[in-house]
């Protein structure tokens, strides 16, 4: 992942800011990128293995959003509680647990799990964070669209 970050930064279109977003195992990778790489921010959606890397919580040096479904069968309440406890003293980490949601709540291709209201709120928080930081580099991100908010 570190090589990918450096490739992105080397692109002439890149302002120097790199933001990472991931879902499920990718959510865990986003968290680890924030702890181990020089990125500008991360947003993790229901990272399934974050609880196995709690030792990295103090290493997070950029803003990170951790989005969890309260009823996630792959990241059960005990795992979420451990994550919240491990990250509570790090001001860079904001954890949000969405009531009435489970795993894949932001996946419109899984209608049995998809919760549009939670998805919109999670995406809004993610894009607000990334836009605020992108502005510091003299750029903004495109306005959130229905596609970005989980619609196709």
The tokens describing 136, both together, are 């510091």
Using DSSP, state whether 133 is helix, strand or coil: helix
pLDDT at residue 152, as a whole number:
37
Q: Quote the pLDDT of residue 151.
A: 47
Residues 6+ apart with CB under 8 A from 117: none
What distance in Å separates the CA atoms of residue 68 and residue 59, rounded to the nearest whole number? 21
pLDDT, residue 16, reads 86
Please state which CATH number belongs to domain 19-136: 3.40.50.1820
SS3 state of residue 93: strand
Q: pTM for the complete prediction?
A: 0.90
d(CA 15, CA 17) in angstroms, rounded, equals 6
- Per-residue pLDDT in tens (0 to 9) along the chain, 152 residues: 899 999 999 999 888 899 999 999 999 999 999 999 999 999 999 999 999 999 999 999 999 999 999 999 999 999 999 999 999 999 999 999 999 999 999 999 999 999 999 999 999 999 999 999 998 887 766 555 444 555 43
* Domain residue ranges of the chain, discontinuous segments joined by +: 19-136
Res 143: pLDDT: 57
Residues 6+ apart with CB under 8 A from 69: 46, 75, 97, 98, 101, 102, 103, 104, 105, 115, 118
Dump the DSSP string for 57-70.
GGG--S-EEEEEET
User: What spatial distance separates the first Cα and last Cα of the chain, rounded to whole Å?
Assistant: 27
Can you say how many angstroms the Cα of residue 90 is from the centroid of all Cα atoms in its chain?
A: 16
């Amino acid at each position: 992942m570190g090589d990918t970050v450096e490739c992105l930064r080397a692109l002439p279109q890149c302002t120097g800011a790199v933001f990472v977003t991931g879902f499920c195992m990718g959510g865990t990778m986003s968290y680890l990128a924030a702890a181990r790489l020089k990125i500008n921010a991360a947003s993790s959606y229901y990272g399934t293995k974050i609880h196995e890397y709690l030792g990295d919580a103090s290493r997070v040096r950029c803003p990170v959003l951790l989005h969890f479904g309260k009823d996630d069968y792959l990241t059960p309440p005990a795992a979420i509680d451990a994550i919240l406890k491990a990250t509570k003293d790090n001001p860079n980490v904001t954890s949000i647990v969405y009531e009435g949601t489970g795993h894949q709540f932001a996946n419109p291709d899984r209608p049995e799990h998809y919760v549009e209201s939670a998805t919109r709120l999670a995406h809004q928080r993610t894009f607000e964070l990334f836009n605020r930081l992108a502005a510091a580099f003299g750029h903004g991100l495109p306005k959130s669209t229905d596609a970005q908010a989980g619609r196709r």
